[in-house]
Chain A
Amino acid sequence: MKATLQRLTERAEAEGLLDVAYANLDSPFGPLMLAATARGLVRVNLPNQDPEQALEELAAKVSPRVLEAPARLEEARRELDRYFAGKLTEFELPIDWALTHGFRGKVQRAINRIPYGQTRTYTEMARRAGNERAVRAAGTACGTNPLPIVVPCHRVLRSGGGLGGYGGGLPMKEALLELEGVR
């Protein structure tokens, strides 16, 4: 049955019917689930987040044609592996921003431009997204980042230097910053 299902995903991909492909990936923090459209990586699900729920959200917001098809995630898998090994400082894979909109989307795109090993504050992110006073909204934008790690919301801290929050849990945020040599 496994070969049969693999043939099916290959044919679905060839016929343009594979709108969202996903794959599971082991990471130093636990299992990640990655999802990509034909345009690029659309979702990174962290170990403490429910992958079922993430897939349902993709089905509702992007397309219900969601299939487990690791082939499309190979590039993302390679880059993430190298990132975790400290050998990659800038992700090059294409991103699909389909799950982000409005002000949050602006903040998340601004986060994507924070260089490796550097940090910014929530206030700075709010300013870069065009509304300096919307600090709380900038925090929410970090918290709802559909592409954590790749879009490095772990590089956003409180103005006083406090860690702030993280969808994957604060220990993971600290570990990522440590990996990048920040703390």
Chain B
Amino acid sequence: MPPFQTLLDEHAADVMGVLRGAVGRTDAEDCFQETFLAALRAYPRLGNAENLRGWLLTIAHRKAIDHHRANGRKPTPMADPPEVPFEDPEPFDGEIWTAVGGLPPKQRAAVTLRYGSDLPHTEIAAALDCSPEAARRSLHEGLKRLRKELA
């Protein structure tokens, strides 16, 4: 197994990106810590260094789900809605990821893994522990819903 530090060097940014998409910027930090501590705990027993990125993203996905469960699945509350004039545009990405955060867990995971981490369908399937076909379907449903909400 490679030294754990190389996993951090190579994948920390990706994991953080996925978590920000899944639980929002504020809570991503905690989920990030939980993800890497869980990974560190399990690492010596993993015994297979082939798809460490997929493995980390799977753990991150589970931590994001745990987080949503703990929060009773309510959408992330915004303490201080930004008082900006309407014409002041929100970053385009921000709006989309907020909408992504409101998707059901499987769809949300599929969308963030595909567009947040640029994973192919097969790796999304591995991360979500489902068939590539089911991963494709979740992604498709998620995108459909996003299009409707953002239209």
Query: Which single residue of chain A is at the shortest CB-CB distance from B37?
Result: A11
Please judge, given known A-B contacts A64-B2, A65-B4, A65-B44, whether A4 and B37 are in contact too, CB under 8 Å.
Answer: no
B69: interface (CB < 8 Å): no
B57 CB to closest chain A CB, in angstroms?
17
Q: Across the interface, do A64 and B37 meet the contact criterion of CB distance under 8 Å?
A: no
**Contact, CB under 8 Å: B2 / A56:** yes
Contacts of B97 in A (CB 8 A): none
Task: Assess whether A64 is in contact with B33, with CB atoms less than 8 Å apart.
Answer: no
Q: A23 to nearest B CB, angstroms?
A: 11
B residues 34-80 touching A (CB-CB < 8 Å): 36-37, 40-41, 43-44
* Contact between B37 and A5, CB atoms less than 8 A apart: no
Cβ-defined partner of A59 (8 Å) among B2, B32, B33 = B2
A-B Cβ contacts below 8 A, count:
57
Count chain B CB atoms within 10 A of each CB in A55, A56, A64, A65 and give the residue with the most.
A64
The number of chain B residues with a CB under 8 A from chain A is 18
Residues of A close to B8: CB separation below 8 A = 5, 8, 67
Encode A95-106 as 1/0 by CB contact (under 8 A) with B: 000000000000
Chain B interface helix/strand/loop/mixed = helix
Distance of A11 Cα from B4 Cα, bound (Å)? 15
Interface positions, chain A 32-79, Cβ under 8 Å from B, are 55-56, 58-60, 63-68
Chain A residues, CB < 8 A from B36 = 8
Contact between chains at B2 and A1 (CB < 8 Å): no
B95 interface residue per 8 A CB criterion: no
Complex CA gap A118/B74 in Å reads: 71
A121 CA to B37 CA, complexed, in Å: 48
B16 within 8 Å of A (CB atoms): yes
- Give chain A residues whose Cβ lies under 8 Å from the Cβ of B96: none
Which residues on the A side are within 8 Å of B1 (C-beta)?
59-60, 64
B130 within 8 A of A: no
Q: Quick one: given A4-B29, A5-B12, are A15 and B37 in contact (CB under 8 Å)?
A: yes
Once the chains bind, are B4 and A64 in contact (CB under 8 Å)? yes
Chain B positions near chain A (C-beta within 8 angstroms): 1-5, 8, 12-13, 16, 29, 32-33, 36-37, 40-41, 43-44
